[in-house]
Copies of this chain bind each other. A is one copy, B any other.
Amino acid sequence: MQDAINTWQDVQREVLGRIQNRVWKPGDIIPNEVDLAKEFGCARATVNRALQAVADSGLLDRRRKAGTRVAVNPVRKATLEIPIIRQEIEQRGQHYQYALIEQQVTDPQADMQAMMKLSDGQQLLHLKALHLADGLPHVYEDRWINISTVPEIVAVDWQQNNANEWLVAHAPFSDGDIAFSAGAAGAVEAEILNVPLNTAVFIIERSTWMMQQSITRVRLTYAPGHRLHTTI
């Protein structure tokens, strides 16, 4: 028995401490909730809450009956927030501007048709736009929107509205996938972002879906220097 470890945060701290100090080593099974509750002088529910939090972060593996053990190869999960570009810019105290570059209704090319899992005949709205921070190019947005899924889009004035925001508000998605990579700026991107040809640029490609129906696919090419930051 020891001094009050009452709150689940206290318990979490204590547990993390024991893992770090190797009182409990990777692979070790730790005492069960009832015993820990007794030792800490708190309710089992409190221990449970704490252990669940630590397990969520990947440092503990828990299985019914088998007990709780310190993860051997903790697979760390980083959660990164996908902000709306305007917010991202304004949050840094910079002035946001948006400029439509091109707008066109097209039949999809084969690769795009595959990536967006389109049926034959489904058309896309293709938008090219630039987001600026304090007047400087920040990110070039190359976007395809599935007209079948979001028919209202054809009526929208994309000079005034930007797809990044409009879609969040009007076309909720159930799931999607994102890929991050680095690439060399091609002729088009280099000119739009106003950087030398082949400059290293950060690229995000994102597709979103609502119940198997593709909504949109976007390729964001960031101006040099952009960092995507998050905590584990």
Chain B residues near A200: list those with CB within 8 A.
182-184, 198-201
CB-contact partner of A180 in B169, B177, B198, B228, under 8 A? B228
Q: Which residue of B lies closest to A176 (CB)?
A: B232
In this assembly, does A16 line the interface, its C-beta being within 8 Å of a C-beta of chain B? yes
Among A169, A173, A180, which residue has the most Cβ atoms of chain B within 10 A?
A180
In this assembly, does A194 line the interface, its C-beta being within 8 Å of a C-beta of chain B? no
A50-B193 Cα distance, complex, nearest whole Å: 43
In this assembly, does A227 line the interface, its C-beta being within 8 Å of a C-beta of chain B? yes
Q: Are B198 and A72 closer than 8 Å at their CB atoms? A: no
CB-contact partner of A232 in B71, B177, B199, under 8 A? B177
CB-contact partner of A59 in B71, B172, B225, under 8 A? B172
Q: Are A78 and B82 closer than 8 Å at their CB atoms? A: yes
Q: A59-B172, A181-B202, A227-B181 are in contact. Are A83 and B78 (CB under 8 A)?
A: no
Chain B residues near A73: list those with CB within 8 A.
84, 87, 168-169
Q: Copy number of this protein in the oligomer? A: 2
Q: Which residue of B lies closest to A22 (CB)?
A: B170
In this assembly, does A81 line the interface, its C-beta being within 8 Å of a C-beta of chain B? yes
CB-contact partner of A230 in B173, B177, B183, under 8 A? B177
Residues of A55-90 at the interface with B, using a CB-CB cut-off of 8 Å, are 57-59, 70-84, 87
* A–B Cβ pairs within 8 angstroms, 5 of them: A26-B169, A26-B172, A75-B81, A76-B82, A182-B201
Q: A169-B26, A174-B16, A174-B20 are in contact. Are A179 and B229 (CB under 8 A)?
A: yes
Q: Are A177 and B229 closer than 8 Å at their CB atoms? A: yes
In this assembly, does A203 line the interface, its C-beta being within 8 Å of a C-beta of chain B? yes
Q: Which residue of B lies closest to A200 (CB)?
A: B200
